Amino acid sequence: MAYSYDTENIFAKILRGEIPNNTVMESEHALAFRDINPQAPDHVLVIPKGPYVCYDHFALEASEAEIVDFTRMIGAVARELGVQPGERGAGYRLLSNAGEDGVQEVPHLHVHLVAGRRLGRMLSPAS
């Protein structure tokens, strides 16, 4: 399947600097910023800078440098927030919605990193 990327999606606008964001971290290939509607005390979105719709698209077409940078940034954000499990932090959850059944609202790959409270079971009933 060919992936079609909408260059007018909200995260593309954030990447172009057309919409402000609360940046946590930035690297050559990735950006992490706070979610505008946080579901927990810490709710950060990590996105690649490249035009990828969802995770399988990214895994198929991104360069190794992009994949390494993006993956490492997710871990670095957890450490930056101090939520990595162990002595310092109480843990976190990663989530990446894709497509209709995943109820993806913004069609630019993003991983949600959610932390700062007990998060409960992974899924709630469909709504």
Residue 124 lies near ligand 5GP (rule: CB under 6 A)? no
Annotated catalytic, 110? Answer: yes
Total residues at interface with ligand 5GP (CB under 6 A):
13
In order, the DSSP letters of 25-86 are EE-SSEEEEE-SS-SSSEEEEEEESS---SHHHHHHHS-HHHHHHHHHHHHHHHHHHT-SBT
Residue 60 lies near ligand 5GP (rule: CB under 6 A)? no
Encoded amino acid at 32, one letter: A
Half-sphere exposure of 65 (CA within 13 A, CB side): 5
Shortest gap between Cβ of 66 and ligand 5GP (angstroms)? 20
Name which position in 25, 40, 94, 106 contacts ligand 5GP (CB under 6 A): 106
The footprint of ligand 5GP on residues 18-47 (CB under 6 A) is 19, 21, 33-37
44 DSSP β-pair partners:
34, 113
Query: Catalytic positions, please?
Result: 110
> Which positions lie near ligand 5GP, rule CB under 6 A?
10, 19, 21, 33-37, 97, 103-106
